[in-house]
Structure formats: structure tokens, C-alpha cells
């Protein structure tokens, strides 16, 4: 299998930081707040590999650092330490050594991001089609008819009525906004997709439909995905492999089935026991 993304020792710390930050935080101390300097260690020493067509789940309670890790990889926030290598079309990119323009190009053209809150991923001042157009225009497609065509096919793929593409996203239901967000993320056929709590806050039938859509995309396009969620059901359905995070650290990782059937860490055991 081809490796798509290799993350090594990724850390993110908010605050001034001190040498003891990483030693005095984590699951062992049941905190991610450094007692010496008050910095927040949002994520520390996160390492994993992602292969082509694979869905990797990152599971954990809120504040465990799962979203932070993904935000660093999508360049929303700069990491404090660590490296990430992205392999694409025969090239290897050291993500955190790239300059802004190169990062922007990758984020626009080779990555896709779907946020929990559609307000983060969509521009609510422009139409649904305009949101998709934005990503295409950032990738230097400058033919109006082509943009329209692509937007229509993406929206129909994510089951948003093409007749509604010129409406503002605020007129849409939460599930539809999420579908538009997914369509926008898929606009440039990215080989790597980040999904941050995509189904949280949606009702169950809509959740199921969105999860179906994600699986369909993975099977049709062989897109690699990182799915961040606190929902065990989502992990069970989507993820091939899973990382479990707590207080900014990865406490357990492995095949999803294995983790759910035979959790090793006390926290994971509690989590699985409470849900199943």
C-alpha cells in the first residue's frame, strides 16, 4: 500500500511553554494544563501513517487534542513541534517546512476539509455553487461554464438538488449544509480528506446518509481520510484503523475492530463499555 501521509511527533502547545510542559501533562497526570507555566498542551507526540484509500479514525473526548492535530495538518494552526510528510504524485512534501503559498496550494488543491460547523467551511455570504467555485478558482480553473458543470456534478453526487445551487447556504438544513461542505471539499478531487466531527449535531437518519456518502467517496475515489470524532458508531462504521487520544496524547492505536473488541487502555475500556 502507498503511504499518503506520515506524521511524526506532532505537538501543539498554547502559551509561553516551559521545559516541564510535556513531562507534567498527559493522561498520567490527568491534565493538559502545565502546572509550572500554565500552558495548554493540546497535542503531544502524535505519530501515525496513513495509506492510500484508508480511513483513519481519531477518537477521544472533547479537549483530547484530536481536532488540534487535524488543524495543524490542514495548516489552520502551526504546530509547536513535529513533522509531517505528504506523498503526492511522486513528490514528497515536508508539510511544516513549506512556505505559506505552497501550504495554501496544497490545502486548496490536494487536501479537503469538512468541519463540524459548516460556518467554518463555507462562506455564508455566497451561494452554494459559489462556495464550490471558490475552490476551483483557487486552483486556477477560470472557465465559467466548466465551473458550473463541475459544481452541478459535485452537488448531485452529494445529493444536493442542482436547482438549489444558487441559493445561500443559510437557506439549507444542517444536513444539506454539511453535504455542500463535502462537495466543496471534493471540488478538486483531493487525495486526502480531513473530516472533523462531520455528523455531530445531525439527526440519525441524516447522519447515516452522510456516512454512506463518505464510504461511497472512499470506495469510488480511493480517497484517504482522517475522521475525527467522539462517536464510537462513526468510528466503527468508517475507520479501518483508530487512534485513541486523551489529554493530548495517543493512548492507544490499532485496528478499529481490535480496539473496540479488546481495548487495552483503561480509558478506552470505559469508553467502549459505556457505549456498547
Partner 1 sequence: MNQEHFGFLDEYAKKEVRRATLKAVAIPGYQVPYSSREMPMGRGFGTGGLQLTLALIGRGETLKVIDQGSDDSVNAVNLRSFIEMTCPGIHTTIRTEQADLIQSRHRIPEKPLREDQLLVLQVPYPDALVVVEASEDRRKLLHGEADYSRLLVKLYEDIVKFSEITISHRYPTRINGHYVIDPSPIPRWDVPKLHNSPALILLGAGREKKIYAVPPYTQAEPLAFEDVPFRVEDFSDEHGQRRSCVRCGCNSSFLDEYVDSATGEQVYRCSDSDWCNQQLEQQQGVEQAVEVANG
In the complex, the smallest distance separating the C-beta of residue 130 from partner 1, rounded to whole angstroms, is 5
50 closest CA partner among 232, 185, 192? 192
Task: Round to whole Å and give the CA distance between 227 and 86.
Answer: 17
Helix (H) or strand (E) holding 175: helix 174-186
In the complex, the smallest distance separating the C-beta of residue 127 from partner 1, rounded to whole angstroms, is 6
Task: Round to whole Å and give the CA distance between 110 and 104.
Answer: 10
Taking CA atoms, 37 is separated from 11, 31, 34, 91, 111, in Å, by 17, 13, 6, 41, 35
In the complex, the smallest distance separating the C-beta of residue 89 from partner 1, rounded to whole angstroms, is 22
With contacts defined by CB under 8 A, name the span among 119-127, 209-217, 219-227, 256-264 that binds partner 1.
Answer: 119-127
With contacts defined by CB under 8 A, name the span among 3-11, 65-73, 97-105, 200-208 that binds partner 1.
Answer: 97-105
In the complex with partner 1, the residue whose CB is nearer, 131 or 253, is 131
In the complex, the smallest distance separating the C-beta of residue 77 from partner 1, rounded to whole angstroms, is 16
Tell me the HSE value of 113 on the side-chain side, using a 13 A CA sphere: 22
177 closest CA partner among 256, 130, 119, 219? 119
Total of chain residues touching partner 1, rule CB under 8 A: 19
Residues 158-187: x/- map of binding to partner 1 (CB under 8 A)? --------x---------------------
275 closest CA partner among 229, 212, 226? 229
Ranges within 123-162 binding partner 1 (CB under 8 A): 123, 126-127, 129-130, 133-134, 137-138, 142-147
Is position 101 an interface residue for partner 1 (rule: CB under 8 A)? yes
- Residues forming the site for partner 1 (CB under 8 A): 100-101, 104, 123, 126-127, 129-130, 133-134, 137-138, 142-147, 166
Amino acid at each position: 500500500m502507498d503511504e499518503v501521509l506520515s506524521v511524526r511527533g506532532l505537538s501543539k502547545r498554547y502559551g509561553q511553554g516551559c521545559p516541564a510542559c510535556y513531562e507534567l501533562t498527559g493522561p498520567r497526570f490527568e491534565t493538559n494544563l502545565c502546572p509550572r507555566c500554565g500552558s495548554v498542551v493540546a497535542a503531544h507526540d502524535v505519530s501515525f501513517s496513513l495509506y492510500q484509500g484508508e480511513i483513519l479514525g481519531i477518537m477521544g473526548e472533547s479537549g483530547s487534542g484530536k481536532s488540534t492535530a487535524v488543524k495543524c495538518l490542514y495548516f489552520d494552526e502551526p504546530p509547536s513541534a513535529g513533522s509531517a510528510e505528504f506523498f503526492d504524485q511522486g513528490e514528497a512534501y515536508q508539510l511544516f517546512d513549506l512556505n505559506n503559498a505552497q501550504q495554501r496550494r496544497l490545502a486548496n488543491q490536494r487536501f479537503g476539509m469538512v468541519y463540524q460547523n459548516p460556518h467554518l467551511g463555507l462562506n455564508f455570504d455566497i451561494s452554494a455553487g459559489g462556495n464550490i467555485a471558490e475552490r476551483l478558482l483557487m486552483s486556477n480553473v477560470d472557465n465559467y461554464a466548466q465551473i458550473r458543470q463541475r459544481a452541478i456534478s459535485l452537488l448531485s453526487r452529494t445529493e444536493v438538488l442542482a436547482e438549489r445551487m444558487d441559493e445561500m447556504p443559510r437557506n439549507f438544513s444542517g444536513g444539506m449544509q454539511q453535504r455542500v461542505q463535502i462537495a466543496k471539499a471534493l471540488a478538486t478531487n483531493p487525495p486526502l480528506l480531513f473530516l472533523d466531527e462531520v455528523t455531530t449535531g445531525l439527526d440519525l437518519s441524516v447522519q447515516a446518509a452522510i456516512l454512506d456518502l463518505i464510504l461511497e467517496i472512499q470506495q469510488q475515489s480511493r480517497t484517504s481520510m482522517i475522521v475525527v470524532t467522539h462517536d464510537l458508531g462513526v468510528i466503527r462504521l468508517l475507520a479501518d484503523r483508530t487512534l485513541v487520544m486523551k489529554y493530548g496524547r495517543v493512548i492507544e492505536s490499532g485496528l478499529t475492530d481490535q480496539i473496540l473488541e479488546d481495548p487495552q487502555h483503561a480509558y478506552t475500556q470505559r469508553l467502549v463499555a459505556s457505549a456498547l
